[in-house]
Structure 1
Amino acid sequence: MSSNHIRLSNETNHQLVSLLGLRLIVGIPSVIIFIGGLIGNISTVFTIIRYRRTTTKDLMFYLVANLAMYDILVMLFALPITVIRKLAFTWPFGAFLCYTINGFPPFSGIGSVVTMVSIVIDRYYVVLHAANPNPKEKQKGLILLALFIIALAIASPAFIFSKYDDSQSTPYCDMVFSTDPAIQIMWRRIYVTLVSVLILFLPVTFEVVLYVKILLVLRQRLKGPTARFNYAYVKAHKNTIKLMLLMTILYATTHTPLFTCYLVYRYGGVAPENVLVFQLVYIIAHLCFYCKSVINPIIYTGFIPEHKQWLLCIINFKFIRPRLSSTSILKFRKNKCTIAPVSAS
């Protein structure tokens, strides 16, 4: 056996081990994020719907439920598509899914940020200008529909310009703006720059400015002559605004690595010898992006006590005492969640 053959075999084995390690590093956290994101956000939507006539009747809670729905879409479509696609180094889903679901990751992400902007606007007018926090059900539905249309319109290029190509050895699905390589590069740079500004920089700046302004006004109200009469009211709003600001900071923290990768790839490029390393960094940045969908439901428990009770009960039922799952059911009555045995029929 020649030394060249041995060297090539060692390089091949090294590549296989690297790919296997990459898939393990990415696969295990992806499963944890997927399960945690689904449980947290489904329980959020369930709790808000269950108490929509009492404690969660305000528009803010409907917007939080809408945000949780987009996070559910992220878990169901964006996370699996991204992870499988990046680990396979190709598009394994075929032409039909390329044209139908390739736009879901940007759509769900844009839907989330549009909803977060709506939440800060709602809090601004309710807290500072005494606007009605609980409009009619029809008005709430129209607001949610408008947010859906806005998100779909902004994400439409991802659906319109998606193209599937299986003419080469590895099929791919990507956004193709032009068949001219120079024009394609230019438009990709324009697109990623606009997306970075519209989805990350502008909304985060807008939200932080408004939340800080609301907190400053609430702080002044606590020092005013009527402070002792509305102390509890102002304090409750202040705690909620702090949690919303935390969500915005979390959004910026989890999105910045991914958008940095986008900009580096489109403007700087990646050397061939650094492709595997960049791919690992790129996927980890995606996982950081998806961590938001797991942490958000935990933040919701700060201003939705019923959600906290329900979420803790699910965790206890499914993970801490899993053997009870086959012989017991969850009961949630009068704001208390209990594990009860299945009644004999």
Structure 2
Amino acid sequence: MTEDPGTIAATTSEYSDYYDQINFTDGAPCNNGNTKEFSKVFLPTLYSIVFLLGFIGNGLVVWVLIRYRQKSNMTDVCLFNLALSDLLFLLSLPFWAHSAMEEWIFGTFMCHTITGFFTLGLYGSIFFMVLMTVDRYVVIVHAQSIFSRNRSAKMGLVLASFVWVLSLFASLPNIIFAKQKMETSKSSCGSEFPSTNWKSFTYLKMNLLSWIIPLIIMSFCYSQIIPILLSIKSQKRHKVIRLILAVVAVYFLFWTPYNIVMFLMYLQTKGYLLSCESHTSLTLAMQWVETIALSHCCLNPIIYAFAGQKFRRAVLKVLKEHFPLCFSQCATFSQQLSERRSSVFTKSSEYSSTQIA
């Protein structure tokens, strides 16, 4: 097996090629023709949808934060880098979509580069979500700490630089061992590790860094945050708590299936689940769960940016500045609709008063 655990398009083709060359217990090679044909249609379609939705949402976040960079604080810096991470690995999806549909035609250098975009953006997105969680924890639970009092944009830049370096180190094995290969007369791009131990290490690294450690940190931080919010007498506290629960629930729902399948693939490197049926099921499952995990980037702008009232106002202000005609018509329509509802409500009230009299 020479698949890249972060490269979706390469995963299907490389697993298929590997199993086509192996005789299982019944002595027959594993036929993955249906799986390959399914991936040629399924993967490019979903990659295109995720790319378009994610690019629009995260692009808007980056645009607005650059527009108001003079007023940036640490939260804004984290939001900016989170959106930048999502955009980075979204840029790789058109290449993987073409590779799944046809073959890899972009050369070895681009194989290293696109693999780097994908893995660096993937780890960066996860790590910045964890950083934002820790930041909320410090601000709410340890409001009087030195860190809480020095949450400036400069501090955000320092921490963001650390996160990018950490993401680069996590991505290095995939980038270094990325390679363009010719298998069964078709060129593909994937990470070809020198030994089974490297592959096992990469699977466990992905499980630990993309799911287990972030989930532990997020669960601990929010378990400390929620009781404090509940003790505050504010009408907005329930909205904040719902948002926090949504963050954890969405992250868990989108990344758990992927990490389960990744762990099962780790077991394959150890000699388990090597039947043809297991391989076919895992290959199909990986196409679904990895696309679901990727689509989490489309929700990041909604969960972390658009949910905030301050950011929503900034988005509307920027859009009104650049698209005044559209927004003036929308505002006129909204005003007319509001007046019509008010008129209907007034008439209804008058009618009810007459009936009572």
**Same fold judged by TM-score > 0.5?**
yes
Does the CA contact (< 8 Å) of 2:35 and 2:284 recur in 1? no
Residue matched to 1:331: 324
> Is 1:202 the equivalent of 2:213?
yes
1:66 and 1:290 mapped to 2: Cα distance?
17
Q: Secondary structure at the match of 1:164?
A: strand
Q: Percent identity?
A: 23
Pair 282,172 (structure 1): closer, same or farther in 2 beyond 3 Å? same
1:106-125 mapped onto 2 (5 Å cutoff): 106-125=119-138
Q: Secondary structure at the match of 1:63?
A: helix
Residue matched to 2:64: 47
1:119-158 mapped onto 2 (5 Å cutoff): 119-130=132-143, 132=148, 135-158=151-174
Task: Report the residue type matching 2:292 in the other structure.
Answer: C
Pair 22,106 (structure 1): closer, same or farther in 2 beyond 3 Å? closer
2:139 and 2:314 mapped to 1: Cα distance?
27
Over the aligned positions, Cα root-mean-square deviation in angstroms equals: 3.5
Pair 167,278 (structure 1): closer, same or farther in 2 beyond 3 Å? closer
1:38 and 1:31 mapped to 2: Cα distance?
10
Residue matched to 2:293: 289
Pair 44,240 (structure 1): closer, same or farther in 2 beyond 3 Å? farther
Pick the aligned partner of 1:70 from 52, 73, 85.
85
2:139 and 2:262 mapped to 1: Cα distance?
37
Does the CA contact (< 8 Å) of 1:240 and 1:302 recur in 2? no
> Is 1:257 the equivalent of 2:270?
no
Residue correspondences, number: 292
Q: Secondary structure at the match of 1:102?
A: helix
Residue matched to 1:302: 307
Does the CA contact (< 8 Å) of 1:204 and 1:252 recur in 2? yes
Does the CA contact (< 8 Å) of 2:77 and 2:157 recur in 1? no
Does the CA contact (< 8 Å) of 2:73 and 2:151 recur in 1? yes
Q: Secondary structure at the match of 1:177?
A: coil
Structure number with greater CO (CA < 8 Å, separation at least 6) is 2
1:76 and 1:204 mapped to 2: Cα distance?
26
What do the CA deviations read for 1:33-57 (whole angstroms, capped 9, x no partner)? 2111111111112223333445xx3
**Alpha-carbon shift at residue 186 of structure 1 (Å):** 2.7
Pair 295,98 (structure 1): closer, same or farther in 2 beyond 3 Å? same
Does the CA contact (< 8 Å) of 1:301 and 1:308 recur in 2? no
**Alpha-carbon shift at residue 288 of structure 1 (Å):** 0.2
**Alpha-carbon shift at residue 289 of structure 1 (Å):** 1.1
Task: Report the residue type matching 2:57 in the other structure.
Answer: G
What do the CA deviations read for 1:88-125 (whole angstroms, capped 9, x no partner)? 4x544321212222232221111011111111111111
Residue matched to 1:175: 191
1:172 and 1:115 mapped to 2: Cα distance?
31
Task: Report the residue type matching 1:107 in the other structure.
Answer: L
1:137 and 1:46 mapped to 2: Cα distance?
17
2:66 and 2:307 mapped to 1: Cα distance?
18
Residue matched to 1:159: 175
Question: TM-score scaled to structure 2, two decimals?
Answer: 0.70
Does the CA contact (< 8 Å) of 1:240 and 1:303 recur in 2? no
**Alpha-carbon shift at residue 21 of structure 1 (Å):** 5.0
**Alpha-carbon shift at residue 305 of structure 1 (Å):** 4.6
Q: Secondary structure at the match of 1:173?
A: strand
**Alpha-carbon shift at residue 239 of structure 1 (Å):** 3.6
1:219 and 1:36 mapped to 2: Cα distance?
35
Does the CA contact (< 8 Å) of 2:73 and 2:152 recur in 1? no
Give ranges in structure 2 of 5+ residues lacking alignment: 1-31, 331-357
Q: Secondary structure at the match of 1:171?
A: strand
Q: Secondary structure at the match of 2:295?
A: helix
Give ranges in structure 1 of 5+ residues lacking alignment: 1-14, 179-183, 318-327, 341-345
What do the CA deviations read for 1:221-267 (whole angstroms, capped 9, x no partner)? x2xxxx4xxx36xx35x644542442233222212222222222332
Residue matched to 2:94: 80
Question: TM-score scaled to structure 1, two decimals?
Answer: 0.72
Q: Secondary structure at the match of 2:250?
A: helix
**Alpha-carbon shift at residue 86 of structure 1 (Å):** 3.9
1:48 and 1:287 mapped to 2: Cα distance?
28
Residue matched to 1:324: none
1:250 and 1:312 mapped to 2: Cα distance?
29
2:328 and 2:310 mapped to 1: Cα distance?
15
1:240 and 1:49 mapped to 2: Cα distance?
26
> Is 1:29 the equivalent of 2:71?
no
1:260 and 1:108 mapped to 2: Cα distance?
21
Residue matched to 2:19: none
Does the CA contact (< 8 Å) of 1:59 and 1:134 recur in 2? no
Pair 337,216 (structure 1): closer, same or farther in 2 beyond 3 Å? farther
Residue matched to 2:351: none
